[in-house]
């Protein structure tokens, strides 16, 4: 083997080793790297009880309700398998809508209601003009959703 080939194979080996090491580390920290928990994880009790965390999913259509004070909102976050009711007092982002994704930070109350201190809209990867969106909405059966990243595939 020429010195040149040797150097290149050393670089290749080094990179392969590094890649494996990083893959193992990321795998070990898998559960710490998620930005939010899904409603299924919340219902199954896989979430921290005593500290705040984030929950993410689709805002279920027809569940958004506003209290008479005009600030407190109630809605249900769902991943199409499990549902978690959320209560939040504050201003919602512009793109927060029923049937769209949202991520809320807060704690789980005693009664299983998630008390949010911050709500973010999770945008999906679809970009289209309004006319196209209308056409798709008409064509699709009700209840079906567009963002793949929030759906739990059984």
Partner 1 sequence: MSVTDINWFKYSSPQALYPLAGKLTPWFSALAVILMGAGLYIGLLLAPTDFQQGDSYRIIFVHVPAAWMSMFLYVVMALWAAIGLGLKARPSYMMAQAIAPTGAMFTFLALLTGSLWGKPTWGTWWVWDARLTSELILFFLYLGVMLLRTSIDDARRADRASAVFALVGVVNVPIIYFSVQWWNTLHQGASVSATAAPKMAAMMLLAMLIMSLGFWMYSIAVILARLRCVIREREERSSVAGQVERPVAVGGV
Residue 73 or 119 with smaller CB distance to partner 1: 119
Residue 21 or 65 with smaller CB distance to partner 1: 21
Per DSSP, what are the bridge partners of residue 77? 59, 84
Binding site for partner 1 (CB under 8 A): 4, 7-8, 11, 14-15, 18-19, 22, 26, 30, 33-38, 56, 92-97, 100, 103, 118-134, 147-149
- CB of 73 within 8 A of CB of 120? no
Please report how close the Cβ of residue 37 comes to partner 1 at its closest, in angstroms: 8
- CB of 56 within 8 A of CB of 77? yes
Backbone angles phi, psi at 136, to 5 degrees: -65, -40
- CB of 76 within 8 A of CB of 86? yes
Residue 66 or 148 with smaller CB distance to partner 1: 148
Please report how close the Cβ of residue 126 comes to partner 1 at its closest, in angstroms: 5
Please report how close the Cβ of residue 95 comes to partner 1 at its closest, in angstroms: 6
Please report how close the Cβ of residue 140 comes to partner 1 at its closest, in angstroms: 14
Q: Which residues of 75-93 are buried (b: 16+ CB within 10 A; e: fewer)?
A: bbbbbbebbbbbbbeeebe
Residue 94 or 111 with smaller CB distance to partner 1: 94
């Amino acid at each position: 083997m020429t010195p040149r080939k040797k150097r290149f194979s050393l670089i290749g080996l080094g990179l392969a080793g590094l890649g494996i090491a990083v893959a193992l580390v990321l795998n070990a920290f898998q559960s710490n790297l998620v930005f939010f928990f899904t409603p299924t994880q919340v219902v199954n009790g896989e979430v921290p009880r005593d500290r705040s965390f984030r929950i993410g999913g689709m805002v279920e259509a027809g569940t958004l309700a506003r209290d008479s004070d005009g600030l407190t909102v109630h809605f249900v976050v769902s991943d199409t398998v499990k549902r978690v009711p959320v209560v939040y007092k504050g201003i919602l982002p512009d793109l927060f809508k029923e049937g769209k994704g949202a991520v809320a930070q807060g704690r789980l109350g005693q009664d299983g209601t998630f008390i949010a201190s911050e709500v973010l809209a999770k945008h999906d990867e679809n970009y289209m003009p309004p006319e196209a969106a209308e056409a798709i909405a008409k064509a699709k059966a009700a209840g079906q959703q567009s963002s793949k990243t929030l759906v739990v595939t059984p």
